[in-house]
A and B are shown apart, each in its own frame.
Chain A
Protein backbone atom coordinates (compact mmCIF):
# COMPACT_ATOMS: atom_id res chain seq x y z
CA UNK A 1 0.00 0.00 0.00
CA UNK A 2 2.77 2.34 1.02
CA UNK A 3 4.65 1.55 -2.11
CA UNK A 4 1.63 2.34 -4.21
CA UNK A 5 1.22 5.75 -2.69
CA UNK A 6 4.92 6.40 -3.21
CA UNK A 7 4.63 5.36 -6.86
CA UNK A 8 1.78 7.79 -7.28
CA UNK A 9 3.53 10.59 -5.46
CA UNK A 10 6.89 10.29 -7.17
CA UNK A 11 5.83 11.59 -10.60
CA UNK A 12 4.00 14.45 -8.90
CA UNK A 13 7.12 15.29 -6.96
CA UNK A 14 9.25 15.19 -10.11
CA UNK A 15 6.75 17.36 -11.92
CA UNK A 16 6.85 19.85 -9.06
CA UNK A 17 10.65 19.94 -9.17
CA UNK A 18 10.53 20.50 -12.90
CA UNK A 19 8.03 23.29 -12.45
CA UNK A 20 10.29 24.91 -9.87
CA UNK A 21 13.32 24.90 -12.12
CA UNK A 22 11.21 25.98 -15.03
CA UNK A 23 10.25 29.10 -13.08
CA UNK A 24 13.34 30.65 -14.60
CA UNK A 25 12.46 29.94 -18.19
CA UNK A 26 15.54 31.40 -19.77
CA UNK A 27 18.68 29.57 -18.64
CA UNK A 28 21.00 31.88 -20.50
CA UNK A 29 21.89 34.74 -18.18
CA UNK A 30 24.72 36.15 -20.29
CA UNK A 31 23.63 37.43 -23.70
CA UNK A 32 26.80 38.84 -25.26
CA UNK A 33 25.50 40.18 -28.55
CA UNK A 34 28.23 42.86 -28.67
CA UNK A 35 30.82 40.13 -28.25
CA UNK A 36 32.68 41.79 -25.40
CA UNK A 37 33.65 38.53 -23.66
CA UNK A 38 35.74 35.54 -24.66
CA UNK A 39 33.99 32.15 -24.65
CA UNK A 40 35.63 31.07 -21.40
CA UNK A 41 34.79 34.38 -19.73
CA UNK A 42 31.20 34.00 -20.89
CA UNK A 43 30.97 30.49 -19.48
CA UNK A 44 32.45 31.51 -16.15
CA UNK A 45 30.11 34.49 -15.87
CA UNK A 46 27.11 32.40 -16.82
CA UNK A 47 27.97 29.85 -14.15
CA UNK A 48 28.40 32.57 -11.55
CA UNK A 49 25.08 34.21 -12.46
CA UNK A 50 23.24 30.88 -12.46
CA UNK A 51 24.58 30.03 -9.04
CA UNK A 52 23.52 33.44 -7.64
CA UNK A 53 20.15 33.40 -9.41
CA UNK A 54 19.18 29.94 -8.19
CA UNK A 55 20.39 30.51 -4.65
CA UNK A 56 18.66 33.89 -4.34
CA UNK A 57 15.61 32.88 -6.39
CA UNK A 58 16.09 36.00 -8.48
CA UNK A 59 17.44 36.31 -12.02
CA UNK A 60 20.68 38.27 -12.34
CA UNK A 61 21.32 38.87 -16.04
CA UNK A 62 23.92 40.61 -18.24
CA UNK A 63 23.02 41.68 -21.80
CA UNK A 64 25.38 43.45 -24.18
CA UNK A 65 24.25 44.93 -27.51
CA UNK A 66 25.83 46.99 -30.26
CA UNK A 67 22.72 49.13 -30.65
CA UNK A 68 19.42 49.58 -28.85
CA UNK A 69 17.53 49.82 -32.16
CA UNK A 70 16.32 53.36 -31.58
CA UNK A 71 14.94 52.64 -28.13
CA UNK A 72 16.33 54.29 -25.04
CA UNK A 73 18.57 51.98 -22.93
CA UNK A 74 15.79 51.89 -20.33
CA UNK A 75 13.13 50.77 -22.81
CA UNK A 76 15.46 48.25 -24.38
CA UNK A 77 16.48 46.74 -21.03
CA UNK A 78 12.87 46.59 -19.78
CA UNK A 79 11.61 44.96 -22.96
CA UNK A 80 14.50 42.53 -23.14
CA UNK A 81 13.75 41.40 -19.59
CA UNK A 82 9.97 41.16 -20.17
CA UNK A 83 10.02 39.39 -23.54
CA UNK A 84 12.76 36.84 -22.82
CA UNK A 85 11.09 35.12 -19.90
CA UNK A 86 13.38 36.33 -17.14
CA UNK A 87 12.26 36.71 -13.55
CA UNK A 88 11.44 34.36 -10.70
CA UNK A 89 7.99 33.84 -9.29
CA UNK A 90 4.83 35.81 -9.77
CA UNK A 91 6.50 39.18 -9.26
CA UNK A 92 9.15 38.17 -11.84
CA UNK A 93 12.03 39.05 -9.50
CA UNK A 94 15.17 39.99 -11.37
CA UNK A 95 17.99 42.39 -12.11
CA UNK A 96 19.29 42.94 -15.66
CA UNK A 97 22.37 44.90 -16.73
CA UNK A 98 22.30 46.19 -20.29
CA UNK A 99 25.49 47.41 -22.00
CA UNK A 100 24.95 49.28 -25.24
CA UNK A 101 28.12 50.03 -27.21
CA UNK A 102 26.38 52.46 -29.56
CA UNK A 103 26.58 55.44 -27.23
CA UNK A 104 28.42 53.61 -24.43
CA UNK A 105 25.33 53.38 -22.21
CA UNK A 106 24.78 51.09 -19.28
CA UNK A 107 21.39 50.50 -17.71
CA UNK A 108 20.21 48.30 -14.86
CA UNK A 109 16.52 47.36 -14.89
CA UNK A 110 14.91 45.75 -11.87
CA UNK A 111 11.57 44.06 -11.19
CA UNK A 112 9.75 42.59 -8.21
CA UNK A 113 12.02 42.00 -5.24
CA UNK A 114 14.89 43.17 -7.42
CA UNK A 115 13.50 46.71 -7.20
CA UNK A 116 13.82 46.58 -3.44
CA UNK A 117 17.26 44.96 -3.43
CA UNK A 118 18.79 47.30 -6.01
CA UNK A 119 17.43 50.72 -5.05
CA UNK A 120 19.00 54.13 -5.72
CA UNK A 121 21.79 53.56 -3.22
CA UNK A 122 22.34 50.04 -4.54
CA UNK A 123 22.68 51.40 -8.08
CA UNK A 124 25.29 53.87 -6.86
CA UNK A 125 27.23 50.99 -5.34
CA UNK A 126 27.02 48.94 -8.53
CA UNK A 127 28.18 51.96 -10.54
CA UNK A 128 31.09 52.52 -8.20
CA UNK A 129 32.15 48.87 -8.36
CA UNK A 130 32.06 48.42 -12.13
CA UNK A 131 32.37 51.79 -13.85
CA UNK A 132 36.16 52.05 -13.96
CA UNK A 133 36.47 48.51 -15.34
CA UNK A 134 33.72 49.21 -17.89
CA UNK A 135 35.40 52.40 -19.06
CA UNK A 136 38.74 50.67 -19.32
CA UNK A 137 37.23 47.84 -21.36
CA UNK A 138 37.77 45.15 -18.71
CA UNK A 139 34.26 43.86 -19.23
CA UNK A 140 34.70 40.47 -17.54
CA UNK A 141 35.92 42.18 -14.34
CA UNK A 142 33.11 44.73 -14.49
CA UNK A 143 30.43 42.03 -14.86
CA UNK A 144 31.93 39.96 -12.05
CA UNK A 145 31.87 43.01 -9.78
CA UNK A 146 28.26 43.65 -10.81
CA UNK A 147 27.29 40.04 -10.04
CA UNK A 148 28.98 40.08 -6.64
CA UNK A 149 27.42 43.40 -5.71
CA UNK A 150 23.96 42.16 -6.77
CA UNK A 151 24.47 39.05 -4.65
CA UNK A 152 25.27 41.17 -1.59
CA UNK A 153 22.39 43.59 -2.24
CA UNK A 154 19.94 40.69 -2.50
CA UNK A 155 21.38 39.30 0.76
CA UNK A 156 20.38 42.62 2.31
CA UNK A 157 16.72 41.74 1.69
CA UNK A 158 16.92 38.81 4.06
CA UNK A 159 16.06 39.03 7.72
CA UNK A 160 19.11 40.37 9.55
CA UNK A 161 19.21 38.02 12.53
CA UNK A 162 22.28 39.30 14.43
CA UNK A 163 21.17 42.94 14.25
CA UNK A 164 17.53 42.08 15.07
CA UNK A 165 18.56 39.99 18.08
CA UNK A 166 20.84 42.75 19.32
CA UNK A 167 18.11 45.38 19.00
CA UNK A 168 15.54 43.06 20.60
CA UNK A 169 17.83 42.37 23.55
CA UNK A 170 18.44 46.08 24.06
CA UNK A 171 14.70 46.84 23.89
CA UNK A 172 13.97 43.86 26.17
CA UNK A 173 16.56 44.99 28.71
CA UNK A 174 15.18 48.52 28.86
CA UNK A 175 11.59 47.25 29.18
CA UNK A 176 12.60 44.71 31.87
CA UNK A 177 14.49 47.38 33.83
CA UNK A 178 11.47 49.68 33.69
CA UNK A 179 9.12 46.88 34.82
CA UNK A 180 11.33 45.69 37.68
CA UNK A 181 12.06 49.30 38.57
CA UNK A 182 8.35 49.87 39.14
CA UNK A 183 8.21 46.72 41.29
CA UNK A 184 11.12 48.08 43.32
CA UNK A 185 9.35 51.40 43.65
CA UNK A 186 6.34 49.66 45.22
CA UNK A 187 8.56 48.78 48.18
CA UNK A 188 9.41 52.40 48.92
CA UNK A 189 6.72 54.61 50.35
CA UNK A 190 8.79 56.99 52.48
CA UNK A 191 9.90 60.25 50.91
CA UNK A 192 10.47 63.75 52.20
CA UNK A 193 7.87 66.35 51.28
CA UNK A 194 9.59 69.25 49.56
CA UNK A 195 6.52 71.49 49.40
CA UNK A 196 4.04 72.99 51.81
CA UNK A 197 1.33 73.49 49.18
CA UNK A 198 -1.19 71.49 51.28
CA UNK A 199 -0.98 74.16 53.96
CA UNK A 200 -1.56 77.24 51.82
CA UNK A 201 -4.22 79.38 53.44
CA UNK A 202 -7.03 79.27 50.84
CA UNK A 203 -7.29 82.47 48.84
CA UNK A 204 -4.33 84.03 50.59
CA UNK A 205 -2.22 84.46 47.51
CA UNK A 206 -2.08 88.06 46.44
CA UNK A 207 -0.10 89.21 43.41
CA UNK A 208 0.90 92.87 43.90
CA UNK A 209 3.27 93.20 40.99
CA UNK A 210 3.35 91.36 37.73
CA UNK A 211 5.31 92.86 34.89
CA UNK A 212 6.91 91.25 31.88
CA UNK A 213 9.69 93.47 30.60
CA UNK A 214 10.93 92.98 27.06
CA UNK A 215 14.70 93.38 27.20
CA UNK A 216 16.07 92.60 23.78
CA UNK A 217 15.82 90.36 20.78
CA UNK A 218 18.35 88.29 18.96
CA UNK A 219 18.01 86.86 15.46
CA UNK A 220 20.16 84.08 14.12
CA UNK A 221 19.94 82.58 10.67
CA UNK A 222 21.11 79.28 9.31
CA UNK A 223 21.32 78.26 5.67
CA UNK A 224 18.56 75.90 4.55
CA UNK A 225 19.82 72.41 3.87
CA UNK A 226 20.06 71.88 0.10
CA UNK A 227 18.01 69.16 -1.49
CA UNK A 228 20.21 66.16 -2.11
CA UNK A 229 21.10 66.01 -5.80
CA UNK A 230 21.02 62.26 -6.33
CA UNK A 231 19.16 61.82 -9.59
CA UNK A 232 18.16 58.24 -8.87
CA UNK A 233 14.86 58.42 -7.14
CA UNK A 234 12.63 55.49 -6.35
CA UNK A 235 9.18 54.91 -7.74
CA UNK A 236 10.01 53.14 -10.96
CA UNK A 237 8.02 53.13 -14.17
CA UNK A 238 5.95 50.84 -16.41
CA UNK A 239 7.50 49.24 -19.49
CA UNK A 240 5.81 48.74 -22.86
CA UNK A 241 4.50 45.36 -21.72
CA UNK A 242 2.85 47.00 -18.73
CA UNK A 243 5.07 45.49 -16.04
CA UNK A 244 6.65 47.57 -13.35
CA UNK A 245 10.41 48.23 -13.44
CA UNK A 246 12.91 50.15 -11.39
CA UNK A 247 16.52 50.89 -12.11
CA UNK A 248 18.93 53.42 -13.52
CA UNK A 249 22.02 53.84 -15.59
CA UNK A 250 24.60 56.10 -17.16
CA UNK A 251 27.50 56.36 -19.56
CA UNK A 252 30.86 54.66 -19.37
Chain B
Protein backbone atom coordinates (compact mmCIF):
# COMPACT_ATOMS: atom_id res chain seq x y z
CA UNK B 1 0.00 0.00 0.00
CA UNK B 2 2.92 2.28 -0.66
CA UNK B 3 1.86 4.66 -3.33
CA UNK B 4 -1.80 4.70 -4.36
CA UNK B 5 -3.28 6.70 -7.15
CA UNK B 6 -3.77 10.17 -5.69
CA UNK B 7 -7.29 11.51 -5.17
CA UNK B 8 -8.29 15.07 -4.67
CA UNK B 9 -10.53 15.94 -1.76
CA UNK B 10 -13.90 17.11 -3.14
CA UNK B 11 -14.14 19.60 -0.29
CA UNK B 12 -10.78 21.39 -0.30
CA UNK B 13 -8.84 19.97 -3.27
CA UNK B 14 -5.98 18.60 -1.17
CA UNK B 15 -4.52 15.13 -1.76
CA UNK B 16 -6.32 12.58 0.43
CA UNK B 17 -4.67 9.73 2.36
CA UNK B 18 -5.83 6.36 3.68
CA UNK B 19 -6.39 6.38 7.42
CA UNK B 20 -5.70 2.87 8.72
CA UNK B 21 -7.51 3.53 12.01
CA UNK B 22 -10.73 4.58 10.29
CA UNK B 23 -10.24 2.24 7.32
CA UNK B 24 -11.31 5.14 5.17
CA UNK B 25 -9.78 7.84 3.02
CA UNK B 26 -9.23 10.94 5.01
CA UNK B 27 -8.21 14.42 3.92
CA UNK B 28 -5.29 15.56 6.13
CA UNK B 29 -6.13 19.21 5.45
CA UNK B 30 -9.82 19.52 6.20
CA UNK B 31 -10.49 16.26 8.13
CA UNK B 32 -13.12 15.07 5.63
CA UNK B 33 -13.75 11.33 5.46
CA UNK B 34 -14.32 9.87 2.03
CA UNK B 35 -15.76 6.70 0.51
CA UNK B 36 -13.54 5.64 -2.35
CA UNK B 37 -16.14 4.08 -4.67
CA UNK B 38 -18.38 7.13 -4.46
CA UNK B 39 -15.48 9.48 -5.15
CA UNK B 40 -14.69 7.52 -8.32
CA UNK B 41 -18.33 7.67 -9.51
CA UNK B 42 -18.43 11.37 -8.83
CA UNK B 43 -15.25 12.02 -10.80
CA UNK B 44 -16.50 10.16 -13.88
CA UNK B 45 -19.77 12.11 -13.77
CA UNK B 46 -17.94 15.43 -13.62
CA UNK B 47 -16.06 14.58 -16.82
CA UNK B 48 -19.32 14.22 -18.75
CA UNK B 49 -20.32 17.87 -18.37
CA UNK B 50 -21.19 19.19 -21.78
CA UNK B 51 -23.06 21.88 -23.55
CA UNK B 52 -26.83 22.05 -23.58
CA UNK B 53 -28.09 21.33 -27.06
CA UNK B 54 -31.40 22.57 -28.48
CA UNK B 55 -31.92 21.52 -32.07
CA UNK B 56 -35.18 22.04 -33.88
CA UNK B 57 -36.26 20.43 -37.09
CA UNK B 58 -37.52 22.70 -39.80
CA UNK B 59 -41.25 22.68 -39.63
CA UNK B 60 -43.10 21.20 -42.54
CA UNK B 61 -46.13 23.42 -42.81
CA UNK B 62 -48.48 22.78 -45.69
CA UNK B 63 -48.60 25.34 -48.48
CA UNK B 64 -51.65 27.39 -49.39
CA UNK B 65 -54.06 25.66 -51.70
CA UNK B 66 -54.45 27.49 -55.01
CA UNK B 67 -56.80 30.45 -54.71
CA UNK B 68 -57.01 30.21 -50.92
CA UNK B 69 -54.63 33.08 -50.29
CA UNK B 70 -56.43 35.25 -52.83
CA UNK B 71 -59.42 35.60 -50.58
CA UNK B 72 -57.26 37.15 -47.87
CA UNK B 73 -56.12 40.72 -47.78
CA UNK B 74 -53.15 42.02 -45.92
CA UNK B 75 -53.43 45.43 -44.30
CA UNK B 76 -50.38 47.44 -43.28
CA UNK B 77 -50.73 50.17 -40.70
CA UNK B 78 -48.95 53.29 -41.87
CA UNK B 79 -48.45 54.47 -38.34
CA UNK B 80 -46.82 51.50 -36.63
CA UNK B 81 -46.12 49.12 -39.50
CA UNK B 82 -48.27 46.39 -38.00
CA UNK B 83 -49.48 43.92 -40.60
CA UNK B 84 -52.84 42.23 -40.30
CA UNK B 85 -54.68 39.75 -42.40
CA UNK B 86 -58.41 39.69 -42.92
CA UNK B 87 -60.85 38.40 -45.45
CA UNK B 88 -62.61 40.63 -47.96
CA UNK B 89 -65.31 41.46 -45.45
CA UNK B 90 -62.98 43.63 -43.37
CA UNK B 91 -63.93 47.19 -44.17
CA UNK B 92 -62.52 50.45 -42.84
CA UNK B 93 -60.92 49.93 -39.48
CA UNK B 94 -58.30 51.01 -37.00
CA UNK B 95 -55.06 49.21 -36.22
CA UNK B 96 -55.47 46.93 -33.18
CA UNK B 97 -51.91 47.64 -32.12
CA UNK B 98 -51.71 51.43 -32.22
CA UNK B 99 -55.31 52.54 -32.63
CA UNK B 100 -54.64 54.54 -35.84
CA UNK B 101 -56.67 54.16 -39.05
CA UNK B 102 -55.40 51.53 -41.48
CA UNK B 103 -55.76 52.17 -45.19
CA UNK B 104 -53.17 50.36 -47.25
CA UNK B 105 -54.13 46.93 -48.50
CA UNK B 106 -52.27 44.30 -50.46
CA UNK B 107 -52.52 40.65 -51.35
CA UNK B 108 -51.22 38.09 -48.89
CA UNK B 109 -47.92 36.78 -50.14
CA UNK B 110 -45.16 34.44 -49.19
CA UNK B 111 -46.16 33.46 -45.68
CA UNK B 112 -46.64 30.00 -44.34
CA UNK B 113 -50.10 28.60 -44.11
CA UNK B 114 -51.01 27.98 -40.45
CA UNK B 115 -51.33 24.34 -39.43
CA UNK B 116 -53.89 24.81 -36.69
CA UNK B 117 -56.33 27.38 -35.47
CA UNK B 118 -58.24 27.55 -32.20
CA UNK B 119 -61.51 29.30 -33.10
CA UNK B 120 -62.85 32.15 -30.96
CA UNK B 121 -65.14 30.78 -28.27
CA UNK B 122 -65.97 34.04 -26.48
CA UNK B 123 -67.61 36.94 -28.24
CA UNK B 124 -67.18 40.69 -27.96
CA UNK B 125 -69.82 41.06 -25.25
CA UNK B 126 -67.93 38.57 -23.10
CA UNK B 127 -64.70 40.48 -23.71
CA UNK B 128 -66.30 43.80 -22.70
CA UNK B 129 -67.75 42.20 -19.59
CA UNK B 130 -64.34 40.77 -18.71
CA UNK B 131 -62.74 44.21 -19.09
CA UNK B 132 -65.33 45.71 -16.76
CA UNK B 133 -64.63 42.99 -14.22
CA UNK B 134 -60.90 43.64 -14.64
CA UNK B 135 -61.45 47.20 -13.37
CA UNK B 136 -63.37 46.07 -10.32
CA UNK B 137 -61.97 45.89 -6.79
CA UNK B 138 -58.84 47.83 -7.72
CA UNK B 139 -58.61 50.54 -5.06
CA UNK B 140 -55.63 52.32 -6.58
CA UNK B 141 -57.02 52.48 -10.12
CA UNK B 142 -57.60 56.14 -11.15
CA UNK B 143 -61.37 56.67 -11.42
CA UNK B 144 -61.12 58.69 -14.62
CA UNK B 145 -59.23 55.87 -16.32
CA UNK B 146 -62.36 53.72 -16.44
CA UNK B 147 -64.51 56.52 -17.74
CA UNK B 148 -62.16 57.61 -20.52
CA UNK B 149 -61.84 54.10 -21.94
CA UNK B 150 -63.20 53.40 -25.41
CA UNK B 151 -64.26 49.94 -24.44
CA UNK B 152 -66.05 49.36 -27.75
CA UNK B 153 -62.84 49.15 -29.68
CA UNK B 154 -61.88 45.84 -28.15
CA UNK B 155 -61.08 43.59 -31.08
CA UNK B 156 -60.63 39.91 -31.78
CA UNK B 157 -57.29 39.06 -33.33
CA UNK B 158 -55.84 35.70 -34.34
CA UNK B 159 -52.28 35.92 -33.06
CA UNK B 160 -49.60 33.81 -34.77
CA UNK B 161 -47.94 31.35 -32.41
CA UNK B 162 -45.14 28.86 -32.84
CA UNK B 163 -45.82 25.68 -30.89
CA UNK B 164 -42.83 23.59 -30.01
CA UNK B 165 -42.76 19.82 -29.32
CA UNK B 166 -39.62 18.28 -27.89
CA UNK B 167 -38.14 15.47 -25.82
CA UNK B 168 -35.58 16.68 -23.32
CA UNK B 169 -32.74 14.38 -22.26
CA UNK B 170 -31.30 15.49 -18.97
CA UNK B 171 -28.14 14.44 -17.17
CA UNK B 172 -27.90 16.57 -14.05
CA UNK B 173 -25.69 16.69 -11.01
CA UNK B 174 -26.42 18.26 -7.63
CA UNK B 175 -24.44 18.84 -4.47
CA UNK B 176 -26.43 18.13 -1.31
CA UNK B 177 -25.82 18.17 2.42
CA UNK B 178 -27.42 16.45 5.35
CA UNK B 179 -26.85 18.01 8.78
CA UNK B 180 -27.07 16.15 12.08
CA UNK B 181 -26.44 17.62 15.50
CA UNK B 182 -25.89 16.17 18.96
CA UNK B 183 -24.18 17.25 22.15
CA UNK B 184 -22.42 16.02 25.24
CA UNK B 185 -21.84 17.89 28.48
CA UNK B 186 -19.17 20.16 27.02
CA UNK B 187 -19.71 20.45 23.29
CA UNK B 188 -22.35 20.70 20.61
CA UNK B 189 -21.36 18.62 17.57
CA UNK B 190 -22.56 19.33 14.06
CA UNK B 191 -21.96 16.71 11.44
CA UNK B 192 -22.40 17.70 7.80
CA UNK B 193 -22.56 14.88 5.28
CA UNK B 194 -21.83 15.84 1.70
CA UNK B 195 -23.45 14.01 -1.18
CA UNK B 196 -23.27 14.18 -4.95
CA UNK B 197 -26.64 13.40 -6.51
CA UNK B 198 -26.85 12.18 -10.09
CA UNK B 199 -30.13 12.31 -11.97
CA UNK B 200 -30.65 11.40 -15.59
CA UNK B 201 -33.67 10.70 -17.73
CA UNK B 202 -35.99 12.26 -20.23
CA UNK B 203 -39.21 14.22 -20.30
CA UNK B 204 -41.46 15.28 -23.16
CA UNK B 205 -43.12 18.60 -23.89
CA UNK B 206 -45.98 19.23 -26.30
CA UNK B 207 -46.86 22.53 -27.96
CA UNK B 208 -44.94 25.00 -25.83
CA UNK B 209 -46.18 28.31 -27.27
CA UNK B 210 -44.20 31.39 -28.25
CA UNK B 211 -45.91 34.17 -30.13
CA UNK B 212 -44.51 34.97 -33.56
CA UNK B 213 -45.44 38.64 -33.71
CA UNK B 214 -43.23 41.58 -32.80
CA UNK B 215 -46.41 43.59 -32.25
CA UNK B 216 -47.42 41.42 -29.33
CA UNK B 217 -45.53 41.87 -26.06
CA UNK B 218 -44.15 38.46 -25.13
CA UNK B 219 -45.06 38.74 -21.47
CA UNK B 220 -48.65 39.74 -22.34
CA UNK B 221 -49.07 36.68 -24.55
CA UNK B 222 -47.49 34.39 -21.95
CA UNK B 223 -49.83 35.80 -19.31
CA UNK B 224 -53.01 34.65 -21.06
CA UNK B 225 -51.77 31.07 -21.32
CA UNK B 226 -52.74 28.28 -21.30
CA UNK B 227 -54.81 27.50 -24.38
CA UNK B 228 -56.65 24.22 -24.65
CA UNK B 229 -55.16 22.60 -27.72
CA UNK B 230 -57.72 19.82 -27.76
CA UNK B 231 -60.07 22.32 -29.39
CA UNK B 232 -57.58 23.21 -32.11
CA UNK B 233 -58.71 22.43 -35.65
CA UNK B 234 -56.97 22.35 -39.02
CA UNK B 235 -56.67 25.80 -40.46
CA UNK B 236 -59.34 27.09 -42.79
CA UNK B 237 -59.77 30.69 -43.94
CA UNK B 238 -63.43 30.48 -42.99
CA UNK B 239 -62.46 30.90 -39.33
CA UNK B 240 -61.04 34.36 -40.07
CA UNK B 241 -64.39 35.82 -41.05
CA UNK B 242 -65.16 38.81 -38.87
CA UNK B 243 -61.82 38.70 -37.11
CA UNK B 244 -58.38 39.97 -37.85
CA UNK B 245 -55.27 37.88 -38.11
CA UNK B 246 -51.75 39.00 -37.48
CA UNK B 247 -49.03 37.68 -39.77
CA UNK B 248 -45.97 36.19 -38.12
CA UNK B 249 -42.89 38.32 -38.44
CA UNK B 250 -40.69 36.32 -36.08
CA UNK B 251 -39.54 32.99 -37.46
CA UNK B 252 -39.73 29.71 -35.59
CA UNK B 253 -35.95 29.72 -35.18
CA UNK B 254 -36.04 33.15 -33.53
CA UNK B 255 -38.93 32.23 -31.22
CA UNK B 256 -37.35 28.94 -30.22
CA UNK B 257 -35.02 30.65 -27.74
CA UNK B 258 -37.92 31.50 -25.43
CA UNK B 259 -39.42 28.03 -25.66
CA UNK B 260 -35.98 26.52 -25.01
CA UNK B 261 -35.55 28.49 -21.81
CA UNK B 262 -38.94 27.44 -20.54
CA UNK B 263 -38.35 23.80 -21.41
CA UNK B 264 -34.91 23.85 -19.77
CA UNK B 265 -36.19 25.40 -16.53
CA UNK B 266 -39.12 23.00 -16.34
CA UNK B 267 -36.85 20.03 -16.98
CA UNK B 268 -34.50 21.18 -14.23
CA UNK B 269 -37.46 21.65 -11.91
CA UNK B 270 -38.93 18.25 -12.71
CA UNK B 271 -35.66 16.46 -12.00
CA UNK B 272 -34.91 18.52 -8.89
CA UNK B 273 -38.30 17.44 -7.51
CA UNK B 274 -37.09 13.81 -7.46
CA UNK B 275 -34.67 14.78 -4.66
CA UNK B 276 -35.76 14.69 -1.06
CA UNK B 277 -34.38 14.23 2.43
CA UNK B 278 -31.51 16.72 2.31
CA UNK B 279 -30.86 19.92 4.25
CA UNK B 280 -29.62 21.73 1.18
CA UNK B 281 -29.48 20.95 -2.53
CA UNK B 282 -27.50 23.02 -4.99
CA UNK B 283 -27.38 22.27 -8.74
CA UNK B 284 -23.77 21.71 -9.71
CA UNK B 285 -23.72 20.92 -13.38
CA UNK B 286 -24.84 18.60 -16.12
CA UNK B 287 -26.55 19.10 -19.42
CA UNK B 288 -29.95 19.04 -21.11
CA UNK B 289 -30.33 18.04 -24.73
CA UNK B 290 -33.43 18.28 -26.87
CA UNK B 291 -34.38 15.57 -29.31
CA UNK B 292 -37.19 15.33 -31.87
CA UNK B 293 -37.82 19.06 -31.71
CA UNK B 294 -40.68 20.11 -33.99
CA UNK B 295 -42.45 23.41 -34.43
CA UNK B 296 -46.01 24.10 -35.58
CA UNK B 297 -47.55 27.32 -36.85
CA UNK B 298 -50.93 28.07 -35.30
CA UNK B 299 -53.34 30.98 -34.93
CA UNK B 300 -54.71 31.47 -31.43
CA UNK B 301 -57.66 33.70 -30.51
CA UNK B 302 -57.00 36.87 -28.48
CA UNK B 303 -59.25 39.83 -27.67
CA UNK B 304 -57.13 42.98 -27.68
CA UNK B 305 -57.65 46.54 -26.50
CA UNK B 306 -55.05 49.25 -26.83
CA UNK B 307 -55.54 52.49 -25.03
CA UNK B 308 -53.45 55.50 -24.22
CA UNK B 309 -53.78 57.34 -20.93
CA UNK B 310 -51.62 60.23 -19.76
CA UNK B 311 -49.20 59.55 -22.61
CA UNK B 312 -48.73 55.95 -21.54
CA UNK B 313 -49.85 52.97 -23.62
CA UNK B 314 -51.89 50.24 -21.93
CA UNK B 315 -52.62 46.95 -23.61
CA UNK B 316 -55.24 44.49 -22.44
CA UNK B 317 -55.56 40.98 -23.72
CA UNK B 318 -58.08 38.23 -23.16
CA UNK B 319 -57.68 34.61 -24.05
CA UNK B 320 -60.45 34.19 -26.67
CA UNK B 321 -60.88 30.58 -25.62
CA UNK B 322 -60.67 30.49 -21.81
CA UNK B 323 -61.54 34.12 -21.00
CA UNK B 324 -58.41 34.80 -18.94
CA UNK B 325 -58.04 38.58 -18.93
CA UNK B 326 -54.75 40.41 -18.27
CA UNK B 327 -53.32 43.90 -18.61
CA UNK B 328 -51.40 46.18 -16.30
CA UNK B 329 -53.34 49.18 -15.00
CA UNK B 330 -52.15 52.67 -14.04
CA UNK B 331 -51.89 53.66 -10.40
CA UNK B 332 -53.42 56.73 -8.78
CA UNK B 333 -50.41 58.11 -6.88
CA UNK B 334 -52.55 60.39 -4.73
CA UNK B 335 -54.77 57.50 -3.69
CA UNK B 336 -51.67 55.43 -2.93
CA UNK B 337 -50.31 58.13 -0.59
CA UNK B 338 -53.70 58.51 1.11
CA UNK B 339 -54.03 54.77 1.66
CA UNK B 340 -50.43 54.50 2.89
CA UNK B 341 -50.78 57.32 5.42
CA UNK B 342 -54.28 56.24 6.50
CA UNK B 343 -53.24 52.63 7.03
CA UNK B 344 -50.05 53.77 8.76
CA UNK B 345 -52.20 55.68 11.26
CA UNK B 346 -54.65 52.83 11.79
CA UNK B 347 -52.02 50.09 12.13
CA UNK B 348 -49.78 52.23 14.37
CA UNK B 349 -52.68 53.07 16.68
CA UNK B 350 -53.61 49.39 16.84
CA UNK B 351 -50.01 48.42 17.61
CA UNK B 352 -49.80 51.06 20.33
CA UNK B 353 -53.04 49.79 21.87
CA UNK B 354 -51.65 46.25 21.86
CA UNK B 355 -48.42 47.51 23.52
CA UNK B 356 -50.43 49.27 26.21
CA UNK B 357 -52.74 46.30 26.81
CA UNK B 358 -49.75 44.01 27.10
CA UNK B 359 -48.18 46.40 29.62
CA UNK B 360 -51.43 46.46 31.60
CA UNK B 361 -51.72 42.67 31.63
CA UNK B 362 -48.13 42.07 32.67
CA UNK B 363 -48.86 44.39 35.59
CA UNK B 364 -46.94 47.64 35.43
Contacts and interface: CB of A to CB of B under 8 A. Distances in A.
Given A189-B223, A192-B222, A179 B343 contact: yes
B39 to A, nearest CB: 7
A211 B37 CA distance: 13
B329 A157 contact: no
A164 B348 CA distance: 10
A221 B140 CA distance: 55
A142 to B, nearest CB: 29
A169 B222 contact: no
Given A180-B340, A190-B328, A196-B208, A216 B198 contact: no
A184 interface: yes
Contacts of B359: 159, 164
**DSSP class of A's interface residues: helix, strand, loop or mixed?**
mixed
B265 A180 contact: no
Interface stretch (A73-81, A102-110, A198-206): A198-206
A198 B223 contact: no
Contacts of B35: 214-216
Interface in A190-240: 190-201, 204-224
A172 B345 contact: yes
Contacts of A176: 339-341, 343-344, 347
A171 B351 contact: yes
A31 interface: no
Q: How many B residues touch the partner, as a band?
A: 35 or more
**DSSP class of B's interface residues: helix, strand, loop or mixed?**
mixed
Given A164-B352, A180-B343, A183-B140, A199 B206 contact: yes
Contact of A218 (B31, B205, B269): B31
Given A196-B205, A205-B201, A215-B34, A168 B351 contact: yes
B195 A215 contact: yes
Contacts of B191: 217-219
A157 to B, nearest CB: 5
B269 to A, nearest CB: 7
B287 interface: no
A188 interface: yes
Given A195-B265, A221-B190, 5 more contacts: A195-B266, A200-B270, A209-B198, A213-B195, A223-B186
Interface of B: 9-11, 27, 30-35, 38-39, 41-42, 134, 137-141, 167, 171, 176, 183, 185-209, 217-220, 222-223, 225-226, 259, 261-263, 265-266, 269-271, 274, 325-331, 336, 339-341, 343-352, 355-356, 359, 363-364
